Each structure stands twice: as C-alpha cells, then as structure tokens.
Amino acid sequence: MAYKPAGEIKERVRQRYANAALSVQVAPSTGGCCGEPGPVDARWGLGRYDGEAGEASARAATASLGCGNPVAVAELREGDTVLDLGSGGGLDVLLSARRVGPTGFVYGLDMTDEMLELARQNQAEAGVTNVEFRKGEIEDIPLPDDSVDVIISNCVINLSADKPTVFREARRVLRPGGRFAVSDVVTLRPFTEAEKADLASWTGCIAGALTDDEYREGLLAAGFSDVELITSHSVGDDGDDDVISAIIRARA
C-alpha cells in the first residue's frame, strides 16, 4: 500500500486542527496531537509543562496539542528572534515572548485559520505585544533568509509529508549559528506501507514520524550541524514503546 498523496494528508491535518481549535472555544482540551480532548495525559499537552504554561493565557495553556516543551530546551535569550513552526493556539509563542523580552520577537506560523484566530485571541488575553502570528506552511516559510535566531516546534514536523523541504526551509531562515530546537515524535522502527497509508494515524502524529536516524540524516542533508536527538518518553498507543517523543537540536 502506497503513501497517501501529500495534498490529501495536508488537508486532513488542516481539518483535524481546525476542529481542535473550534472545540477549545467550547470546552478546553487537555489532550495532545495524538489524543482527543479529555483528562490530562502525561504524554501530551500540558502534561509536559510542569506548571510553567500558566505564564501564558489560560486558553493558550489548555489548547496545548504538543508532545513536549520545546521552550524549555531552546535556550532562548534576551533579544532573540524566534519562529514557532505550527504554532497552534500560541502557547509556545507566548512563553517564548516572555523569555526573549521586549528586545526580542516571536513569529508563530500556522496554516489553519481557526488556530490563527485562537492564537490571536490568546495573545490579546495575555497582553503580549512582541509576537506576530502568520498564516503559512512549514514547507514554504513566509520569512526572508537569515531572519531568525531560533526555530522551535512542538509535535508538528511529523505531520508534514515533505520533511526534507521543511528542514531546508528551516535552515534557510535561520541566521548562521542559529539554533533548531524542537519536540517531535520519532519511531525506533520503520513503519510498514500500510501504517504509512493510515490517514488517521498521520493526523494523530504517528504514521508520519521519521526514525531517529532519518531525522538526523535529514537535518544534516539540509545543512545543519551538531545534530542531537534525545529520547524523552513513549507516546505509542497500546504499549508501543517504539514510538517516542524526542528533543531534537541542531545548529545552522
């Protein structure tokens, strides 16, 4: 069984996260990108923030759909310009804005209108001004070359059907010496063709995951150096310990 077409994957991902954004307006989610709204799951969402999500707006915190906490490992500094790939409800953008201070700036990039609307509402609630949410795709980042110091992302790159382009675009917009620091799902075994073709598993952050070696090789091929991948915790269903959350860092 072959891969699903990239356009079909992208549209299903967009639909899923549009629905997630709309559901937060009605009832806050405490799930993650692979979960549905419901009780807090320590693998996903707020389970990875150890209370620091309270620095952002309440709705941004409860809309968290990630598998880790990239802000905690990005080593953000005063004055940094930061880009969050797939910024969703804006939690990591708002947390980053606090850390880079008034001389820094944070861009949130998302392809989903509903998520962008939610993020802007959360920004207004938090009273944060050094932030801009832009509509766009992580395969075609709407920023110029050498324009950001740090790229973060939280369980989003696995959703792309064209990861080599994502890595090249990330390298393009990073300044020389810039830092790539993301949380993402990786797998310790190659998936079968049937698993890769499962759209529900794609949109749930599983079927699109790279192996740890593929992730390293992809970043190196895009021109990154000092690639580091640290496994964090299992996110697989039904006791599948081959699917894990990882912290991935590299330098431009």
**Which CATH number goes with the domain that contains 79?**
3.40.50.150
**Is residue 1 in some structural domain?**
no
**Is residue 196 in some structural domain?**
yes
Encode the chain (252 residues) as per-residue pLDDT tens digits.
334 556 776 777 667 766 776 666 655 544 444 444 444 454 555 555 665 655 555 556 555 667 788 998 899 999 999 999 999 889 999 999 999 999 999 999 999 999 999 999 999 989 999 999 999 999 999 999 999 999 999 989 988 989 999 999 999 999 999 999 999 989 887 766 666 655 444 445 566 789 999 999 999 999 999 999 998 787 766 555 788 889 999 999
**Is residue 70 in some structural domain?**
yes
Number of domains in the chain: 1
Instruction: Kindly report whether the global pTM for this prediction surpasses the value 0.85.
Output: no
> Quick one: CA torsion of 109, 3, 208, 171, rounded to 10 degrees?
-50
Domain residue limits at 194: 6-251
